[in-house]
Amino acid sequence: MSFKLKNKRLVLPRLTFFHSLFFFLLFIGGCATSYQRLGKNGGYSDEKINDRVYKVSFQGNTRTSDDKVHKYFLRRCAEVALEHHFPYFIIIEKDDITKYTTVTAEGSPLTKAKITAVSYSGNTPFVPTEQKSIPKHLIEGKIALFKDGEQPVNAIIVEEVLKYNAD
């Protein structure tokens, strides 16, 4: 990529604008689930079972990695404990679930073009399809909350989780 001076102004090649636009659109369109309350693109939810036990879940979208879903699940567990003034929690139940969505698109995978096939009865249009299975990751579990001095030895420290899982 070369730069030119024209009338004492720096002139960038035209491709620079298109490259910038491409990366901007790629960034906007290819985002994984952010840390948010559960919505159509995933997120967290929690439900009180009793004063010390809560059901917590985090669901990613099709672009959210297993590691990110696990990180956000732990973060939400810690936040629930903190919101209720408990410095410790343990995970008493946990399910790691992967749901698959099958997406079908018309046309051949490379060109998306319709193909005309010749048969004895004449020309018959043939539309090939492409199918992909796309995973969505979900972790749901139950946590028990503990005050200082009553926590079991395997308790998770809320401050530590929030320190290492903050974005």
Nearest-CA neighbor of 165 among 96, 36, 78, 93?
78
Q: What is the count of structural domains for the chain?
A: 1
CATH code, domain carrying 66:
3.30.1360
Q: What is the pLDDT of residues 89-128, one digit of tens each?
A: 999 999 999 888 787 766 555 555 555 555 566 555 656 6
Give the single-character DSSP code of 31: P
**Token pair in block for residue 76:** 């939400």
In this predicted structure, what is the pLDDT of residue 132?
Answer: 80
Nearest-CA neighbor of 56 among 156, 136, 138, 143?
143
Report the distance separating Cα 57 and Cα 70, nearest Å: 10
Q: Is residue 36 part of a domain?
A: yes
Q: What is the pLDDT of residues 8-37, one digit of tens each?
A: 555 555 545 444 544 443 444 456 778 888
Q: Is residue 13 part of a domain?
A: no
In this predicted structure, what is the pLDDT of residue 106?
Answer: 63
Buried b (16+ CB within 10 A) or exposed e, 42-52: bbbebeeeeee
Q: Is residue 56 part of a domain?
A: yes
Q: What is the pLDDT of residues 123-150, one digit of tens each?
A: 556 566 677 888 889 999 999 999 999 9
In this predicted structure, what is the pLDDT of residue 24?
Answer: 43
In this predicted structure, what is the pLDDT of residue 116?
Answer: 55
